[in-house]
Amino acid sequence: MKVPLHIAVTGAAGQISYSLLFRLAAGHSFGKDQPIVLHLLEVPSAMPALEGVVMELNDCASPIVRSIIMTDDPFVAFKNIDHAFLIGARPRTLGMARKDLLKVNAEIFSTQGKALNAVANRNVKVLVTGNPANTNALIALKNAPDLSPANFSSMSRLDHNRAISQLAEKCGVLTTDIKNMTVWGNHSGTQYPDIHYATVRGQDALSLVDDNWFVNNFIPTVQERGEAVIKARGQSSAGSAANAALDQMRAWALGTPDNDWVSMGVLSDGSYDIEKGLMYSFPVTVEDGEIQIVQGLNINEFSRHRMRVTEDELKQERDAVKHLF
Ligand code: NAD
Ligand code: LMR
């Protein structure tokens, strides 16, 4: 019998969590035979709604959910946890950039970083989804000096999945036929979804699509997909965001396949000449819970420019919240 994993989910009564929790209870991220204890964090005003969510979770009679803790105190929520999905934060509305959310969301992540530092398991894996995800993850990490920076990652998987889906549709193949997709940089309009290393059924992706589609269709479609969803739904993505968070945590917990990589926001170690100390999305592999940035990729002039633009935006975001470090 496996020892239960303790999993924190913040913003547990929000729309992403409503898509995420039931799949978590079905074993998506950690396996169908892995018992879990859920630690659900919300703000005080959302506790009645959270009680309803917990009633529904109980009504699933999940064979793997051992117990559920509900709280509005991050020091209770993060006590001895192994994994954290930091989702709770305000979403943007039409016309806003994600970085406009820094003013309202940044402090959530300094408080939660301190709580993680104080009470979480030292091997905790913290995935930040609340926007702007890269810089919020950096704030949390900076407020948790006793935890390794390797314990923190920001969510790039939604962009990665969007990029795979666009390329698969263009080439008329299954998403599983696409390997080695890469998203560089920020989860924002400057991100650089890159198909230079991607393959489609083993063939170079760039030999199958024309440059004009790559530059003028694929890149902007992936960059602006979040806004397109908000325009269409009146609310930001939730089902796909929950799916991406579950996918990213699964890759972190269980590893990546031998013949592929994924994109994750991690603290830059200077790889690809990206400034150290930024939370930047790189292509990565994972083995035994350790994330490694894929090394040795050839970066051409076009890519270098795109990677710098998104790096510059992350520097600006970091400088705007330095007082919280
Ligand atoms: P939502 O408003 O439906 O839910 C957010 C929940 O967080 C609310 O229930 C709120 O009460 C709670 N909350 C607020 N402050 C909190 C705190 N300090 N502690 C605990 N809970 C808190 O929003 P949503 O649609 O679920 O989106 C959540 C966040 O995820 C937003 O910032 C959104 O922009 C972001 N998001 C990121 C991605 C990504 O790819 N990184 C994708 C989609 C959405
Ligand atoms: C997304 O990419 O769908 C999310 O970050 C939500 C948003 O604000 O675009």
Mutate to test the pocket of ligand 1, among 236, 240, 262, 264 (most ligand atoms within 8 A of CB): 236
Q: How far apart are CA 210 and CA 199, in angstroms?
A: 14
**Are residues 205 and 140 part of one domain?**
no
Q: How far apart are CA 299 and CA 281, in angstroms?
A: 15
**Which tens digits make up the pLDDT trace of 52-93?**
999 999 999 999 999 999 999 999 999 999 999 999 999 988
**Which tens digits make up the pLDDT trace of 152-208?**
999 999 999 999 999 999 999 999 999 999 999 999 999 999 999 999 999 999 999
Determine whether the shortest distance from the Cβ of 129 to ligand 1 is under 6 A. Answer: yes
Mutate to test the pocket of ligand 1, among 131, 156, 246 (most ligand atoms within 8 A of CB): 131
**Which tens digits make up the pLDDT trace of 233-250?**
999 999 999 999 999 999
pLDDT tier at 1 (50, 70, 90 boundaries)?
confident
- Residue 236: which CATH number? 3.90.110.10
**Are residues 262 and 214 part of one domain?**
yes
**Are residues 144 and 161 part of one domain?**
no
**Are residues 149 and 187 part of one domain?**
no
Which atom of ligand 1 is the closest one to the Cα of 88? 7
| Domain termination residue (choose one: 154, 175, 207) | 154
Taking CA atoms only, the protein residue closest to ligand 2 atom 7 is 226
Determine whether the shortest distance from the Cβ of 108 to ligand 1 is under 6 A. Answer: yes
| Domain termination residue (choose one: 154, 178, 213) | 154
- Residue 109: which CATH number? 3.40.50.720
Determine whether the shortest distance from the Cβ of 321 to ligand 1 is under 6 A. Answer: no
Q: Which ligand is nearest to the CA of 225?
A: 2
Give pTM, 2 decimals.
0.98
Q: Which ligand is nearest to the CA of 135?
A: 1
| pLDDT at 282 > cutoff 90 | yes
Would you state the structure tokens that stand for residue 165, as one six-digit string?
């889906």
Catalytically active residues are: 187
**Are residues 167 and 108 part of one domain?**
no
Q: How far apart are CA 151 and CA 138, in angstroms?
A: 11
Averaged pLDDT score across all residues of the chain: 97
**Are residues 185 and 119 part of one domain?**
no
Query: Cα-flanking dihedrals φ and ψ of residue 6, to 5°?
Result: -100, 120
Determine whether the shortest distance from the Cβ of 226 to ligand 2 is under 6 A. Answer: yes
**Which tens digits make up the pLDDT trace of 83-105?**
999 999 999 888 888 889 998 99
Going by C-alpha positions, the residue among 124, 136, 143 that lies closest to residue 252 is 124
Taking CA atoms only, the protein residue closest to ligand 1 atom 20 is 42
Taking CA atoms only, the protein residue closest to ligand 2 atom 9 is 226
Mutate to test the pocket of ligand 1, among 40, 69, 87 (most ligand atoms within 8 A of CB): 87
Determine whether the shortest distance from the Cβ of 236 to ligand 2 is under 6 A. Answer: yes
Taking CA atoms only, the protein residue closest to ligand 1 atom 41 is 129
Number of structural domains found in the chain: 2
**Are residues 161 and 148 part of one domain?**
no
**Are residues 269 and 213 part of one domain?**
yes
Domain range for 172: 157-322
223 neighbors 191 (Cβ within 8 angstroms): yes
**Are residues 294 and 166 part of one domain?**
yes
Average pLDDT on 5-32 reads 97
**Are residues 11 and 132 part of one domain?**
yes
Q: Which CA distances in Å does 254 have to 31, 184, 251, 290?
A: 9, 23, 5, 10
**Are residues 238 and 103 part of one domain?**
no
Q: Which ligand is nearest to the CA of 130?
A: 1
pLDDT at position 93:
87
Q: Above pLDDT 70, what percent of the chain? A: 100
Which atom of ligand 1 is the closest one to the Cα of 101? 32
| Domain termination residue (choose one: 154, 178, 209) | 154
Average pLDDT on 277-304 reads 98
